[in-house]
Amino acid sequence: FINCLLLSVHQSDRAHSRITGWGGRREISDAHGPQQKRGARAWVQSFEEIPHTGKYGWVNLMKFWRQGYFRQLHKHMEGTFNALGPIYREHVGTQKTVNIILPSDIAELFQSEGRLPQRMTLKPWATHREIRQHSKGIFLKNGEEWRSDRVLLNKEVLMSSAVQRFIPLLDEVARDFCKMLQKKVEREGIGQKGKRSLTVDPSPDLFRFALEAICNVLYGERIGLFSSSPSLESQKFIWAVEQMLATTPPLLYLPHQLLLHIGASLWTQHATAWDNIFSHADARIQKCYRRLSSFQGQGSKAEAAGGQYPGVLGQLMEKGQLSLDLIKANITELMAGGVDTTAVPLQFAFFELGRNPEVQEKVRQQVRTSWALADGDPLVALQGAPLLRGIIKEVLRLYPVGITVNRMPVKDIILQNYRVPAGTTVSVCLYPMGRSSDVFDDPMRFDPGRWSSGKGGQRISGFRSLAFGFGARQCVGRRIAENEMQLLLMHILLNFNISVLSTEDIKTTHTLILQPETPPKITFSKL
């Protein structure tokens, strides 16, 4: 069976090369202006005429497996856009998508989504919830069910009033991380006392930082991951998240229901990872629930807790607008989604600042000025240092955590003069877009200042920074993640100079998120 599929792949490659001239790139319409239409509406081409990578899903799946595309999906997308132009369709296993890259097409897609944006459901995740009889959080919902829950969650995690409540909790964790790093540099580093430096892989500490930070926001309490003997259970949670992310991509292309019924090891590993995630989150939720319940009858939970913010969980429980099962489902999703998605971009941020010392010093000077004027207020300090936000945008442009954002249009739309039917999964491919000279000037240059409005009389137009999604379905944890990363960078730059051993580009790999094949070594030198 495998040999037959491989023969089919070989024949398909040859035929596809003859038909499309695989190495020849189609002309790309101007990314900075209106989309070019070839004449009147009668000229609009059919869906079937969209360039494609091969018609046969299972043949393409074998090609993916044979050529290692699961781990290099971002590179595969980049190469395919270079070969076929700014739009192509792909059928791999059970998955069918139309992939786009240009802001003009992205605008068309998002402007057609309506009040109930539809996106592809991660079916392996949804199946796990169903067989374990867990409620689904908003990440796995569509339609009115999604909207009603999302509106309530927005008030606790996205609105400016919510940000003002949880910024001090994130700042506390960022400060403590820097204190821990200072002690580590003094203890293990080299050089004169007080000016020591230490070269280290920061990724294990960054994962602990991310989990400590998200738990402080969600539960309103610290879990002690910066101690000399951090909890083994918390480390197991981090491992479970990594296992869940690693096993998701192949399950998106394979018939996961069949794998479930035959007890395939891939499905077993995936389900076990989710079981461990839910078990750990449930223990945290139950502990927090008991603590907050003890305040019953003492006024608001915040007042009973000594005026401190009780966390997102406490706020949701106090308002009582979501059932406890739905609160658990969404808190678990936020907790699982709040570790790798901030720890990994911070690795890339340290690397880029280390190999761009002039950028690092420019940001540091802005941070120092802002911090001196902020009188210890972290929110004011961030507002006065827009280059910190620019760093996050640049890192996520070059190294997007999730390499696609997808929607399923509720009506037929026209993209690159092709008709795309309603209900088609359309993926915005962030990695190739962020590195495309058709979209960005000098795309491989790390320049946080490019996002400043009015720079050099030029302003970057919309639909180019989409790492957190767009509109009503943007990442619900966006404000937590953005502020968490900016606060850590701010305190690191105030206390350390960052350098790298090698300025060579980092090799990246794709699980469900983009990450370094090997975490870069970073040198932290005390200022």
Distance from C-alpha of 289 to C-alpha of 276, rounded to nearest angstrom: 20
For residues 350 and 485, state if they share a domain.
yes
User: 138 lies in a domain?
Assistant: no
CATH number of the domain bearing residue 332? 1.10.630.10
User: 365 lies in a domain?
Assistant: yes
For residues 434 and 472, state if they share a domain.
no
The whole-number average pLDDT for the span 246-273 is 91
At a CB cut-off of 8 Å and minimum separation 6, what does 253 contact?
61, 64, 92, 93, 94, 95
For 45, which DSSP code?
Answer: B
Residue 215 among known ligand-binding residues? no
For residues 165 and 100, state if they share a domain.
no
User: 119 lies in a domain?
Assistant: no
For residues 392 and 436, state if they share a domain.
no
Distance from C-alpha of 373 to C-alpha of 229, rounded to nearest angstrom: 37
Mean pLDDT, the chain, rounded, equals: 89
DSSP 3-state assignment of 472?
Answer: helix
User: 137 lies in a domain?
Assistant: no
Q: Domain total for the chain?
A: 2
Taking CA atoms, 466 is separated from 3, 58, 250, 391, in Å, by 41, 31, 24, 14
The whole-number average pLDDT for the span 491-519 is 97
Task: List the domain range (segments joined by +) for residue 269.
Answer: 143-402+467-526
Distance from C-alpha of 274 to C-alpha of 294, rounded to nearest angstrom: 30
One-letter amino acid at 457 equals G
For residues 212 and 346, state if they share a domain.
yes
For residues 425 and 342, state if they share a domain.
no
User: 237 lies in a domain?
Assistant: yes
Compute how many other C-beta atoms are within 10 angstroms of the C-beta atom of residue 311: 26
User: 393 lies in a domain?
Assistant: yes
CA-closest candidate to residue 445, choices 316, 346, 330, 359: 359
For residues 388 and 521, state if they share a domain.
yes
At residue 173, the pLDDT reads 98
Q: pTM higher than 0.85, yes or no?
A: yes
- With b meaning 16 or more CB within 10 Å and e meaning fewer, what string describes 2-16? eeebeebbeebeeee
What percent of the chain shows pLDDT beyond 90?
77
User: 124 lies in a domain?
Assistant: no
For residues 384 and 522, state if they share a domain.
yes
CA-closest candidate to residue 180, choices 219, 233, 230, 220: 230
User: 522 lies in a domain?
Assistant: yes
**Last residue within a domain, chosen from 427, 453, 479:** 453
At residue 38, the pLDDT reads 44
For residues 346 and 447, state if they share a domain.
no
For residues 513 and 445, state if they share a domain.
no
For residues 383 and 517, state if they share a domain.
yes
For residues 440 and 397, state if they share a domain.
no
8 Å CB contact between 412 and 422: yes
Read off the pLDDT of residues 84-121 as tens digits, 9 standing for 90 and up. Answer: 999 999 999 999 999 999 999 999 999 988 889 999 99
At residue 33, the pLDDT reads 37
Distance from C-alpha of 140 to C-alpha of 348, rounded to nearest angstrom: 29
